[in-house]
């Protein structure tokens, strides 16, 4: 289960899938990444046959009871690019009454690579938005300092505004509302991770021995 990632501060580490509350930054569910295997230890049987990252998202949903519809309406879940894909977004909406928004990688199932071809060359703030009728989701590419790929079941094609620090100036740029929604709701896991790393007592265990 121990993994190597050269881009992380801890190069060799145990990886976790984390579900956190955005408003309180409270960790609701945490799984150790098991990789691709058939043991599915502590995995809900309804998620056991799914691909690794979809399995993690649906397992946390079932384990925490979020698959039971809320009488207050649809919930919203933000996912990073390791987890989100159009197929997963459709499953969360149709079976768990959960809208989702998240960045995603171009190789995710349901992402149309032939249609979404934006490159980083061009004006900041440009965007391409399409409604994918196969899964009834919005897929979007938005050019920031790099091209950001986003998928959402919130069917909002409107453009809003965000600000970026360019040198000594804070400048406004056009930004799709679904990208702004993702930015506003993704920090729960980051804050939860900070709490876990610095105060959780189990993220980094160092054993000191005398010579």
In degrees and rounded to multiples of 5, residue 147 shows phi and psi of: -80, 125
Contact 138, 157 (CB under 8 A): yes
Contact 66, 95 (CB under 8 A): no
Higher pLDDT, 141 or 201: 141
pLDDT at 143: 93
Distances 42 to 34, 63, 68, 96 between C-alpha atoms, Å:
10, 10, 20, 20
pTM above 0.85, yes or no: no
Helices (H), 97-186: 177-185
Residues 166-178: tens digit of each pLDDT = 888 999 999 999 9
Residues 87-112: tens digit of each pLDDT = 899 999 999 999 999 998 888 877 88
Q: Kindly state the average pLDDT of the residues 13-21.
A: 79
What is the residue extent of each domain of the chain?
2-199
Scored b (16 or more CB within 10 A) or e, 48-58 reads eebeebbbbbb
pLDDT at 140: 93
Does an H or E element contain 30, and which?
Answer: strand 27-32
- β-bridge pairing 147-152 and 98-103: antiparallel
Higher pLDDT, 189 or 79: 79
Higher pLDDT, 203 or 69: 69
Contact 76, 182 (CB under 8 A): no
Q: Which one, of 60, 70, 65, lies nearest residue 97 by Cα?
A: 70
Half-sphere exposure of 158 (CA within 13 A, CB side): 7
């Amino acid at each position: 289960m121990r993994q190597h990632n050269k881009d992380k501060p801890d190069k060799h580490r145990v990886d976790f899938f984390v579900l956190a509350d955005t408003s309180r930054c409270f960790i609701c569910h945490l799984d150790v990444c098991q990789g691709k295997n058939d043991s599915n230890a502590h995995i809900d049987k309804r998620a056991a046959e799914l691909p690794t990252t979809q399995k993690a998202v649906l397992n946390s949903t079932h384990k925490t009871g979020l698959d039971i519809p809320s009488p207050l309406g649809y919930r919203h879940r933000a996912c990073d690019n390791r987890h989100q894909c159009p197929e997963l977004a459709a499953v969360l909406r149709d079976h768990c009454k959960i809208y989702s928004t998240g960045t995603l990688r171009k190789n995710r199932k349901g992402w149309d690579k032939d249609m979404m071809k934006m490159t980083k060359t061009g004006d900041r703030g440009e965007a391409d938005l399409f409604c994918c009728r196969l899964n009834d989701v919005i897929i979007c590419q938005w050019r920031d300092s790099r091209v950001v790929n986003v998928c959402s079941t919130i069917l909002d094609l409107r453009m809003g505004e965000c600000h970026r620090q360019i040198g000594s100036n804070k400048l406004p740029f056009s930004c799709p509302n679904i990208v702004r929604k993702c930015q506003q709701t993704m920090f729960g896991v980051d804050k939860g991770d900070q709490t876990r790393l610095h105060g959780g007592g189990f993220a980094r265990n160092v054993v000191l021995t005398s010579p």
